[in-house]
Amino acid sequence: MKLNLDNFPEALPYPELMSCPNETIQIYEGTYLLKNDLLELIVNGVIEFKWFPRSRPVLTGSTLVNSLDEFMAMTESNKFNIIINGQHFSECFLTEMGFNNPGELASIKGTIAGRPVKGDSTIKVDAAYFYIPNLLNLSGATIKRYSGEQVQTWHSRILFENAKYTIILDKDFEYMNKVKLLKDSGGYFFLYKGEISKKNGSLSIDEVRDILQCFSTFLSFINGRSTSSMFTHGFYNNEIIWVDYTSNFIEPFIGVKHWVEERQAKHLNNLWNNFNEIWRDNDGKYVLETVVGWYLDANSLNGGLHGSIVMAQSALELIYNWHVIEKQKLISGKDADNIAASNKIRLLLSLISTDYNIPEGLRELTKFSKEADKKNQLDGPELIVQIRNAIVHSQAEKRKNLNTISFEVRKEALELYIWYIELSLLFILDYEGKYSNRCSSEVFLHSKLTPLPWSKNN
C-alpha cells in the first residue's frame, strides 16, 4: 500500500546552526559600540558563541585608541555596554587588550555577560523557535521534508500541549549520524529544533524565557543529564524580531542512564503538563529545580561517587519533606522531625507502592547486605543510608567501615538512590507509562520495559 504523504506535517523549517559538534556560531560581524560612563569605543569585530573552554558568547575586534590615558581608562573600567545598530545587546567585560601607540588600532577580546539579545526585545512575537543540544533519542509522530525531488519521512515530532501553549519538538533527520559524531568528539551538537506558540495572544521575551526554563528542566529530567533550549528566535509576521543568545547551562555529552525509553514519547505530554503545573507554584518550582538538579549531578557523578550519594539522599529527603509531610500530611509534629532517614525513605516508598528489598539486579549490593547482617538481611533504605552515613560522618570508626565497602557496592548504592528518586518524581508527576529500570540487569542488556509499581497496567 502506497504511503499517503499528505497526512504527514512538514518538519520545522528553521535553519541549521551547526554542521559539526562544537562549531563556533557567529552572532554578529561588523561595527558595534562599546560604551560606559567614561568611554565610547567604536569597534570593528565579531561576536561569536564558543562552546569551549566555557559555553558563552565572546567578542574580538579592534578599536582606535587616541591616547595612553584612553587606554588606561579601558583597563581600569573594563565593563561596557554593547550597542549593535543602535540597540542594546548586552554587557561585556574586556579580558585582553593589545596596544602599541596612540592613534593606532588596539586589539580587544571580551566575554559577554547577562542576557544578550540582538534586536528589539520589547516587541511581542507570534511564536519563537529554538534548538536543543545533546538530547536523547525519542521516537515521535511521522513528519516529512523535501530534499530536491525526494520526500523523506522520519519518526520525529513530539507535541507538548496544554490550554495555553503549544511546544513542538522535531528530532533532526540526521540524528543518528550527528550522535555518532558527538560520541566521537564529545561536547555539544544541536539534535532537535523546537517551536513555542501561544494559543491566544502573543509572547513576550520574558514569557518565552519562563516557559522554556521550565521545559528545559523537564527535558533534562528525561535526558538524565542537563540540556536546555538555546538561540531562541522570536518572530512576528514571519520576520525575526529578536534573538536571545543567553548562555544556559548545558553539560557536554557523555552517555548516562535514563528512565525514559524512546518508544514512550507519546506519554510525555501528560508528564509535561503535570510538571508545569507544579512549577507554577513558587515552592513547587524550587523543589523541582533542586531535586532535578541533584538528580542530574548524581546521575552524571558530578560530585564524584561519594558526593553523588550525598546529593541523592538530599534529593530524597527534600521529596519526603515536601510531598509526604507538607502535601500529604502523613506525619505531623515532633514525629515528623525525629524520624530516621531510612524510615523517611521507607515511608516514601510505601506511598509509591515500591518494595523495600534490594532489587535482584544489584547483585553486589545484595551480597553485601547479606554479609553485613547474617541474621536479618538489610533492606534497601537501611543499607544505602548506612553507606551514606559512613561517607558523611568523620569518626574514625565510620571511616574504617567505609574502607570495607567496595567501589562496586557504593556504585550500586548510588544506583538505588537514583532509582528511588526517579520513581518518586514519576509518582508525583502521575506518570503511568513504562520506564527503563536501572536496577534490573535485564534492562541494561535488553532494554526491557518494566511497568511502574503503581501503574494501572501492572
The pLDDT averaged over each successive group of 10 residues in the chain (458 residues) is 75 95 97 92 96 95 88 83 96 90 89 95 97 95 87 92 96 96 97 97 97 98 97 96 95 94 81 97 96 97 94 96 90 77 94 92 91 77 93 74 87 97 96 88 49 73
pLDDT at residue 398 in the model:
67
Residue that is last in its domain, among 59, 89, 116: 116
Give CA–CA dist 401/227, Å, rounded. Answer: 38
> Is 182 inside a domain boundary?
yes
**Domain check: are 324 and 441 in the same one?**
yes
The pLDDT of residue 449: 57
User: How many angstroms separate the Cα of 146 from the Cα of each of 1, 9, 13, 154?
Assistant: 21, 11, 10, 12
Per-residue model confidence (pLDDT) at position 442: 54
* Predicted local confidence at residue 445, as pLDDT: 37
Query: Does residue 224 share a domain with residue 91?
Result: no
Q: Is residue 407 part of a domain?
A: yes
Phi, psi (deg, nearest 5) at residue 131: -130, 145
Instruction: Write the CA distances from 457 to 12, 432, 434, integer angstroms.
Output: 35, 8, 9
Cα gap 341→351, rounded to integer Å: 16
Whether residues 348 and 441 fall in one domain = yes
- State whether 112 and 85 are in the same domain: yes
Grid coordinates of 199: 494559543
In a domain, 66, yes or no: yes
Nearest to 347 by CA among 358, 356, 337: 356
Residues 219 and 285 in one domain: no
State residue 441's pLDDT score.
Answer: 60
With beta carbons less than 8 A apart as the criterion, state whether 399 and 387 touch. no
268, 271, 272, 274 alpha-carbon torsion, rounded to 10°: 160
Mark which of 116, 146, 161 sits at the end of a domain. 116
User: Within the chain, what is the greatest distance between any pair of CA atoms?
Assistant: 86
Domain that holds residue 50: 25-116
Helix pair 407-428, 341-351: axis angle to 10 deg: 50
Residues 99 and 140 in one domain: no
Domain assignment of residue 78, yes or no: yes
**420 and 319, same domain (yes or no):** yes
The half-sphere exposure of 231 on its side-chain side, counting CA atoms within 13 A, is: 22
Closest CA to 320 of 280, 293, 291: 291
102 and 173 both lie in a single domain: no
418 vs 412: CA distance, rounded Å: 10
In this structure, are 245 and 302 located in the same domain? no
* Cα–Cα nearest to 21, from 252, 249, 367: 252
Structurally, the chain folds into a number of domains equal to 3
In a domain, 268, yes or no: no
- Which one of 215, 250, 285 terminates a domain? 250
Residue 405 domain-assigned? yes
- Residue 351: inside a domain, yes or no? yes
Asked if residue 85 and residue 204 are part of one domain, the reply reads no
List CB contacts of 166: < 8 A, sequence separation 6 or more. 159, 160, 196, 197, 198, 199
- Number of C-alpha atoms within 13 angstroms, CB side, residue 455? 15
* 303 and 366 both lie in a single domain: yes
Residue 109 and residue 126 in one domain? no
Inside any domain, residue 266: no
